[in-house]
Amino acid sequence: MEVLETWKTVKRADLLQMYYYLRLTRALEDRITALYRQGRIVGGVYTGNGMEAISVGYASALERDDIIAPFHRDMGAFLVRGITPGEVVAQYLGKRTGPTKGKDGNVHMGDLKRGVIGFVSHLADNLPVATGVALAFRLRGESRVVVTNTGDGGTSRGDFHEAMNFAAVRKLPVVFFCNNNQYAYSTPLGLQMAVKDVVDRAKAYGMPGEIVDGNDLAAVYLAARRAIQKARAGEGPTFIECKTMRMHGHSEHDSAKYVPRELLEEWKKKDPILKAEQMLKQIGYADENTFREVGERVTKEVEAGVEFAEKSPLPEGPETLNGVFATDEEIKP
């Protein structure tokens, strides 16, 4: 189907909501990057610049009770699930008001109440965990779904393969996303895998897979919706490869000189926000005014978040000792 035609199949309100999250994600990560340059961030900054449509798209396709196990460039998904810009900045600043209360940094955060499984640095570790979330749904006969995501590099780890295999064998309600941004840190795809497309890996597990344009919000959203619907209906897992490009360095300290300039120039034209604006205008769902208003709104929200985070207290040293073990009260049914 024509790109424009696919966009027309999504409701206007849903598109505008997702467009807002694209902008919020971009604005928040740009602001965090600026704070990093000023030396105000504790630790590293990994952005999903140019890849926002993927996590906004899949997270928007879920129901409230569903679960996500996101990846380190999935800021959009955290925001869609209701983690606020203030909490995110607090997390980056090591403040007590961040989701990990200063115990962990950057995107290594989660919150079960909002259906977010905490991201673990060890790439692909959360994929088996996601299959277990799906297994719990299956065991209890709930019609809930979990979506997880990995990078192209993460698909080389054993845990990726163990998770894909187990999910397929037991037809678990899980959807595996992969944001193929063509690099894993400095390692290009050709040194990561011998298959042409990451989706080829799914065949080995008897799992259906598809490739989508990861910079096309509606395409990602619709692919997610189809896969989620299937999973919910008990028809098992799907693998979705999103072709995209990492537009910043691996982290903000990395100038990424190893990425050819022309490649970045080419992908800049395919920016997901630019693309969304073109489509929204063409269908007549929005105009420059809408875009400007959304821009003003997200800037305000991000600034309020930064203010909240900066005013928040740092944890006290002895808080280090808290929380190694859970208490009985925490698992009361």
Ligand X SMILES: Cc1ncc(C[n+]2csc(CCOP(=O)(O)OP(=O)(O)O)c2C)c(N)n1
Of residues 150 through 189, those in contact with ligand X by CB under 6 A are 151-154, 179, 181, 183-185
Strand partners, 111: 116
Residue in the block written with tokens 């490869």: 241
Cβ proximity of 113 and 333 under 8 Å: no
**DSSP code of 60?**
H
x/- contact string, 106-135, with another protein (CB under 8 A)?
--xxxxx----xx-xxx--xxxxxxxxxxx
The CB-of-168 to Mg ion minimum distance in angstroms stands at: 23
Residue in the block written with tokens 């926000």: 273
The CB-of-149 to another protein minimum distance in angstroms stands at: 15
Instruction: Pick the closer one to ligand X by CB: 144 or 246.
Output: 246
Single out the residue of 219, 280, 271, 273 nearest to residue 3, CA to CA: 219
Contact with ligand X (CB under 6 A) among 12, 122, 300, 311: 122
158 contact choice in Mg ion, another protein, ligand X, none (CB below 5 to 8 Å, kind-dependent): another protein
Paired tokens of 51: 């890849």
> Rule CB under 5 A: is residue 151 a binding residue for Mg ion?
yes
The CB-of-6 to another protein minimum distance in angstroms stands at: 33
Instruction: Pick the closer one to ligand X by CB: 84 or 106.
Output: 106
The CB-of-247 to Mg ion minimum distance in angstroms stands at: 12
185 contact choice in another protein, ligand X, Mg ion, none (CB below 5 to 8 Å, kind-dependent): ligand X
> Rule CB under 8 A: is residue 42 a binding residue for another protein?
no
123 contact choice in ligand X, Mg ion, another protein, none (CB below 5 to 8 Å, kind-dependent): ligand X
Paired tokens of 302: 């991000």
> Rule CB under 5 A: is residue 181 a binding residue for Mg ion?
yes
13 contact choice in another protein, Mg ion, ligand X, none (CB below 5 to 8 Å, kind-dependent): none
Question: What are the contacts of 284-292 at 24+ separation with CB within 8 A?
Answer: 285/12, 285/15, 285/16, 286/16, 286/19, 290/16
The CB-of-182 to ligand X minimum distance in angstroms stands at: 8
Three-class HEC string of 281-308: HHHCCCCHHHHHHHHHHHHHHHHHHHHH
> Rule CB under 6 A: is residue 121 a binding residue for ligand X?
yes
Paired tokens of 28: 């928040």
Instruction: Pick the closer one to another protein by CB: 288 or 325.
Output: 325
Residue in the block written with tokens 């120039």: 265
Provide the CA 37 distance to its chain's centre, in angstroms. 23
Annotate 98-122 with DSSP letters as a single string: STTTTSS-TT---BGGGTBPPP-SS
> Rule CB under 5 A: is residue 214 a binding residue for Mg ion?
no
210 contact choice in Mg ion, ligand X, another protein, none (CB below 5 to 8 Å, kind-dependent): none
> Rule CB under 8 A: is residue 222 a binding residue for another protein?
no
Paired tokens of 217: 């919000």
How far, in Å, CA of 26 to CA of 13, rounded?
Answer: 20
Candidate segments 27-35, 53-61, 293-301, 324-332, binder of another protein by CB under 8 A: 324-332
Strand order in the sheet with 209-213: 67-69, 146-151, 174-180, 238-243, 209-213
Per DSSP, helices labelled H in the chain are: 3-8, 12-37, 52-60, 75-80, 85-92, 126-140, 158-169, 200-203, 217-232, 261-268, 272-283, 288-311
Instruction: Pick the closer one to ligand X by CB: 121 or 322.
Output: 121
Residue in the block written with tokens 């990424």: 256
224: amino acid identity, one letter: A
Can you give the binding site for another protein, defined by CB under 8 A? 67, 69, 99-100, 103-104, 108-112, 117-118, 120-122, 125-140, 146, 158-159, 162-163, 165-166, 169-170, 323-328, 330-331, 333
Can you give the binding site for Mg ion, defined by CB under 5 A? 151-152, 181, 184
Can you give the binding site for ligand X, defined by CB under 6 A? 73, 121-123, 151-154, 179, 181, 183-185, 246
